[in-house]
Amino acid sequence: MTLTDPRTGDTCRIIRHRSGLELRIAELPDFRTASAQLVTKFGAQHIRFRTDAGAAVTEMPPGIAHYLEHKLFENPECSASELFAQLGAHDNAYTDYDRTVYYFQTAREFPAALRVLLSFVTHPFFTAENVERERGIIMQELQEALDDPADVLEMQLFSGLFHTHPVQNHILGTVQSIRQITPALLDQCWQTFYNLNNMALCCAGNITAEEVVQIADTVLPETAPPMRAVPVLPPEPEGVRKRRLQCSMDVGRTQFMIGFKSTPAAGTERLRESLLCLLVIELLAGDSSPLYLRLLDCGLLHDTLAADCLAGDGWFTVTAEGESDAPDAVCAALCEEIARAKTGGLDAQRFADCKKAAYGDALIGLNSPEAAADAMTDAFAAGLDSPFARTELLAALTLSDAQDCLMRRFDPDCLTLSVITPQTNKKKGEH
């Protein structure tokens, strides 16, 4: 199947490889590099699953998807990173709530680098010794995350928004859960979720679809067993678990993050709702909104109010974060603005401008091999075919859609306020 963006002429070919792996390829011959991303639909939130429909629920320690991501780079002879470095490719990986992605970018030797990528992810090498050695590195990564105010703010918000959903766990897990991870558990997760029928390879840049298929033919098995595993999510009650959470850290100013929880959505509907939510929050509290100017004018808000829409299987939230000495007053002002917009309506001219801005962002955002590979990976993880769906959906959105979204997804009774206040902490120097 070939998908084409009518605005730009960009194309994306989707090929089901005989091994079960889905290949998504964007040929961009004008660029000097190529990117490849190998993604599995196994992320931090998949800590409960059935290996097939009739099996008992298996539970894993939080953080295991991320630990697995680290460990797959290990080969019996050397690390995959060393092989990439010898080829001049830049490699890395990341774990999100709903996926794990292994990727590289290179200006040369794309076929050889792709062979390395496909090979190391499909050939795990876990030993008691190498798993134990990695634990120290991951503990250091966790400590770094726990010192990061932005990370803590979001983690605290999620723990307030959700009662049972595993998204409330940190992607890296906890000190305790990381200690529970063993080679056997890593292998069980790999066997269950690194099934090629649960994965996709997204390539973009100065490459051709034919060469990607040819390399997949030489590296991947003829077939993979059907994907039988099913993630299990505990029932998530409506409403938030806590309306307000606060902690103290060594930060310069009080920081806050507001999250509105609403009904989860899937596939195209999730993307459409996310786009609408971003437009609505921009209209309500963006840099050119009357509310933002009022908050700045009376000194309630410092700098900007950054908004986002975060969603996945079983969860959906719109967030706004910033710095303020009076976060509760900012939260109350936002709720008042929501109430006013629900009765008085959203501004039509500003809706048109914000929609134009979102359209411009979407077009510019796909203009590189890395961005195109990211878009294809996002689409696969979200259960969509087209990486161009964003611009298509945006074009069709109306003011009435935005007003409807405001009514459904911005419920002041369904919000959590997460706050970090500064600790009193004088520097102690000993020159």
Partner 1 sequence: MADPMIGNGIRYTEIIEPKFRSCLLLLRFYTPRNVQTAPVHALLTDLLTASSADEPGLSALSRKLDALYAADFSARLMLCGDAAALSFSASWLDDRFALCGEDITGGMLKLVTGCLLRPNLADGGFCEPEFSVCRQNLLDDIDCERNDRRLYAMQRASELCFAGEPAAIPPFGDRQHAAAVTPKQAFAVWEQLLHTAPIDIVCILPEEKPVRSALESAFSGIPRCPVPVPLSALTPLRDAPLRCTESMRISQSKLVLVYQFRNIAPDVLRMLNGILGGINNSLLFLNVREARSLCYYCLSSYSLLKGVLSVDCGVQTADLPAAEEAVREQIALLQSGDFPDSMLREAVLDYIGREAAQENTNAGIADRIADGLMRGDTRSPEETAAALAAVTKAQITEAARQLTPAAVYILRAEEAENA
Site for partner 1, residues 287 to 326, rule: CB under 8 A: 287-289, 292-293, 296-297, 299, 302-303, 323
Report the C-alpha dihedral over residues 17, 7, 316, 229, rounded to 10 degrees: -10
Min CB(111)–partner 1 separation in Å: 16
Residue 8 or 164: the one with the smaller Cβ distance to partner 1 is: 8
Min CB(278)–partner 1 separation in Å: 12
CA 334 – CA 351 distance, rounded (Å): 18
Site string for partner 1, 119-158 (x = CB under 8 A): --------------xxxxxxxxxxxx-xxxx---------
Considering only 60-68, 102-110, 162-170, 377-385, which stretch makes contact with partner 1 by CB under 8 A?
102-110
Helix, strand, or coil here: 322? strand
Q: In the window 376-415, what residues touch partner 1 (CB under 8 A)?
A: none
Min CB(317)–partner 1 separation in Å: 23
Min CB(248)–partner 1 separation in Å: 9
The correct pick among 4, 55, 108, 400 for binding partner 1 (CB under 8 A) is 108
Min CB(109)–partner 1 separation in Å: 9
Tokens matching residue 393: 């959906």
Helix, strand, or coil here: 262? coil
The correct pick among 36, 44, 212, 358 for binding partner 1 (CB under 8 A) is 358
The correct pick among 15, 107, 219, 335 for binding partner 1 (CB under 8 A) is 107
Residue type, 16: R
329 is a site residue for partner 1 (CB under 8 A)? no
Tokens matching residue 409: 């997804």
Asked if 377 and 383 touch (Cβ cutoff 8 Å), the reply is: no
The correct pick among 6, 30, 54, 222 for binding partner 1 (CB under 8 A) is 30
Q: Would you give the distance in Å from CA 112 to the centre of its chain?
A: 28
Q: In the window 174-193, what residues touch partner 1 (CB under 8 A)?
A: 175
Asked if 28 and 21 touch (Cβ cutoff 8 Å), the reply is: no
Q: Which of 154, 155, 197 is nearest to 42 (CA)?
A: 197
Site string for partner 1, 212-251 (x = CB under 8 A): -------------------------------------xxx
CA 203 – CA 373 distance, rounded (Å): 6
The correct pick among 221, 225, 360, 383 for binding partner 1 (CB under 8 A) is 360
Asked if 388 and 12 touch (Cβ cutoff 8 Å), the reply is: yes
Site string for partner 1, 39-68 (x = CB under 8 A): ------------------------------
Instruction: Name the CA radius of gyration of the chain, rounded.
Output: 23
Dihedral angle sign, alpha carbons of residues 411, 421, 321, 348: positive
The correct pick among 58, 75, 79, 180 for binding partner 1 (CB under 8 A) is 79
115 is a site residue for partner 1 (CB under 8 A)? no
Count residues near partner 1 (CB under 8 A). Answer: 78
Tokens matching residue 144: 């770094």
Min CB(333)–partner 1 separation in Å: 16
Asked if 92 and 84 touch (Cβ cutoff 8 Å), the reply is: no
Residue 21 or 172: the one with the smaller Cβ distance to partner 1 is: 172
Min CB(152)–partner 1 separation in Å: 11
Question: What are φ and ψ of residue 408, in 5° steps?
Answer: -85, -30
Considering only 74-82, 120-128, 233-241, 264-272, which stretch makes contact with partner 1 by CB under 8 A?
74-82
Residue 76 or 429: the one with the smaller Cβ distance to partner 1 is: 429
Asked if 420 and 253 touch (Cβ cutoff 8 Å), the reply is: no
Residue 188 or 304: the one with the smaller Cβ distance to partner 1 is: 304
CA 240 – CA 319 distance, rounded (Å): 14
Question: What are φ and ψ of residue 421, in 5° steps?
Answer: -105, 150
Dihedral angle sign, alpha carbons of residues 79, 83, 85, 90: negative
